[in-house]
Amino acid sequence: MIRALFFDVGGTLLQPAEPIGATYASLAVAHGWRAESEAVQRGFRGAWKKRREEGVGSDKTLGKKGWARIVEESLRQAEMPEDFPFEVYFEEVFAYFARPEAWRDFSETGEVIEGIVKKGLRVGVLSNWDPRLRCVLAGFAWAKFLDPILLSEECGVEKPAPAIFQKAQEAVGVGAGECALVGDDPISDLGGALGAGWRCALVERPQRGLGEALGDLGL
C-alpha cells in the first residue's frame, strides 16, 4: 500500500516557460551577442547529453558549478564569442531560473496534487535540483501541499543513487514498499526508484500525463 507519494519536478510538475535556448539567447543580447536560439537549444541538448554520458551524479550533484558547466557548453556549441563575459552572464541566467515566472506548471498539476492529498497520502518532492527550487515553488499555490521537499544538492546525492531515496523514506517515516515516485526520467526516476525498492510511474508527455502515471500506481 502506498502511503507516501513523491514527485520529480522538472518535466513532471513544471516546465520552462519558454525553450531553454530562447532564454539563454535572449539574456545574451544585453552582453552584445545575438545568439541564434535554435543553435543554443541544440547546444543545451548536447551539453545535457554529455553529462548523462559521463554518468548522472558524476559531479556529485548538479549545483551552481554544474550548471555553469552546462550553460557554458551550451553556448560554446553555439559558437560563443571569445570575448563574451560568461561569468557575468551566467549569474543572470542562474538567478533568472530561480524565479517562478521562468516556469509554468502543467495543466493538471494542481488538481492532481490536491486530489492525492485528499486521499490521505503524504505528498512530497524528490528532485535533482538545487535550493532555487524552493523559490520557484513559492510561486505556485499547490506547492503548499508538498512536504517534505528533498533536493539533491541539499542531500549531497542525487537520483538514481539509493541514498537519496533512503533519506526520503526517513523523512516520512515509512518503508520502501510504501513509497512511490512519479517522474519523467527512465534512469534517475524509474531506475532509481526500483533500485530502492519503491514503486514508480513515468509521465511521457504529451502522450502520458500525471493522471495516466497515477493510474499505473492504482491511485
Q: pLDDT by residue (tens digit) across 147-175?
A: 999 999 999 999 999 999 999 999 999 99
User: Which candidate, 172, 170, 167, places its Cα nearest to that of 147?
Assistant: 172
What pLDDT does 57 receive?
53
- pLDDT tier, 62 (very low <50, low <70, confident <90, very high otherwise): confident
> Which CATH fold would you assign to the domain 4-15+102-216?
Rossmann fold (3.40.50)
| Cut 0.75: pTM above it | yes
Angle at which helix 20-28 crosses helix 86-96, to 10 degrees, equals 130
pLDDT of 91-111, one tens digit each?
Answer: 999 999 999 999 999 999 999
- Could you tell me what percent of the chain has a pLDDT over 90? 90
Q: Which CATH superfamily is domain 18-101 in?
A: Haloacid dehalogenase-like hydrolase (1.10.150.720)
Residue 8 CA to chain centroid, in angstroms?
6
Which pLDDT score, from 0 to 100, does residue 50 have?
82
